[in-house]
Amino acid sequence: MSRNNAIFTPVNLGSGAVTVAVKDCIDIAGMPTKGGSAALDDAPAAEANAAVVEALLAGGCRIVGKANMHELAYGVTGINAWTGSAINPHFPDRVPGGSSSGSAVAVAEGLVDFAIGTDTGGSIRTPAACCGVFGLKPTFGRVSRAGAWPRASSLDCIGPFARSMAQIEAAMRIIAPGYAPSADAPPRFAIVQAEGVDAAVQAAFDEAMAPFSANAQVSLAQLPDAYGANIAVIAAETYAAFGHLLAGGKVGADVAARLTAAANVDAQKLAQAEVVRARFTAEVDALLEQHELLVMPTMPCFPLALSEAGDAAAALRMTALVRPFNLSGHPALTVPVLAAEGLPIGIQVIGRHGADEAVCAFGRMLENTISVIMDPAGEDTNR
């Protein structure tokens, strides 16, 4: 029995053997989509299932919960004062990560076979890394967003969390039309050297990658600018979707502050962000012409301690290495690893547009070679 009461609202939809939790910014017919916000507590029931929910049901899944989340998907810690915050099962003094916190925790705690989240600025990869599970942000547009909130987004992707790569790929076969796992084959990959990664995280990453032979060490000069551009685009798109909720006074303080600031992202700032998007996408594409995959840490730091969750700058720093690939739309996977300090890091694998299968194939190789935090049965393998 879970000791964690803020993971999801129970649902009983479908009769399949495979159990799934779905983030509460995705419509399920007959249920309100509340987005973890008191401002949407009186939202009417959704009239139809989101496309991904229909795919899950058609794929023989049983949806058992609507997963908790950082309010309005506009935060990275997973802390939610209104719904309560899901507890990080294996690292309970650390944040679960957001915004797809409940999805990550439900998987880490073994309550479901896999979970569905959304990722606009790292909201699958960050909580997956924090909770020690696998998480995939598919190529932008690979999984239909019909029936997901916000309705319009140039960044957001729906994707799976799981305790094994086999389950990640099983989920993708259900939710991503045409997904067909690739055969194992040593890829040509480059390791991205990113500035600002904490020494302990870098050491754990280097140790985990030691069995593999990279073709090159590369850098992404536009990475910091892409991070900032992602924040600007998210701000504008989130304000367009939810800014009207501020007037009701029910939005939580942290999200209200971000939404209020988001109103200042004007057309000129958005235009500048689009220039960065084009430049960064071209830079990543150029590297991926030479190397099939790029590999780097998922986060530059360990998950924040709960006592640090109110530090907005520190929280945003957790997403420094994931946000840019929402801007560019490339598929990105995080693979869990336990550092010598007993804390989790993620190995992030980035691939060419549409090459989600190649990304996952390398994820399988990593899983089979390194000691990931969780085995497929949900047992600790490192402690």
Q: What is the pLDDT of residue 206?
A: 97
Q: What is the pLDDT of residue 370?
A: 84
Distance CA 72, CA 84 (A): 14
CATH class of the 8-369 domain in this structure: alpha beta
| Residue corresponding to tokens 């099939």 | 292
Tokens, residue 381 = 């393998």
Classify residue 184 by burial, with Cβ atoms within 10 Å: 0-12, 13-18, 19+: exposed
Nearest to 215 by CA among 311, 287, 110: 287
Cis before 150? omega within 30: yes
DSSP bridge pairs for 32:
45
Distance CA 247, CA 170 (A): 43
DSSP calls for 66-84: EE--SGGG--SS---TTT-
Tell me if residue 8 falls in helix, strand or coil.
Answer: strand
Catalytic residue among 34, 66, 85, 99: 99
**Residue 255: left if φ>0, alpha if ψ -120 to 50, beta else—which one?**
alpha
Residue 63 near residue 56, CB atoms below 8 Å: yes
Q: What is the pLDDT of residue 377?
A: 41
Catalytic residue among 23, 34, 66, 137: 23
Could you tell me whether strands 293-297 and 189-192 are parallel, antiparallel, or unpaired per DSSP bridges?
parallel
Q: What is the pLDDT of residue 378?
A: 42
| Residue corresponding to tokens 């590297």 | 287
Reading the chain (383 residues) residue by residue, the pLDDT tens digits are: 356 779 999 999 999 999 999 999 999 999 999 999 999 999 999 999 999 999 999 999 999 999 999 999 999 999 999 999 999 999 999 999 999 999 999 999 999 999 999 999 999 999 999 999 999 999 999 999 999 999 999 999 999 999 999 999 999 999 999 999 998 888 999 999 999 999 999 999 999 999 999 999 999 999 999 999 999 999 999 999 999 999 999 999 999 999 999 999 999 999 999 999 999 999 999 999 999 999 999 999 999 999 999 999 999 999 999 999 999 999 999 999 999 999 999 999 999 999 999 999 999 999 999 866 654 344 444 33
123: annotated active-site residue: yes
Angle at 152 between CA 149 and CA 155, to 5 degrees: 90
3-state helix, strand, coil in the chain (%, to 5): 35, 20, 45
Distance CA 84, CA 101 (A): 11
- DSSP strands (E only) in the chain: 8-13, 18-23, 61-67, 114-119, 134-137, 157-162, 189-192, 216-218, 293-297, 332-338, 344-351
Q: How many CB atoms lie within 10 A of CB 368?
A: 10
Catalytic residue among 101, 123, 164, 328: 123
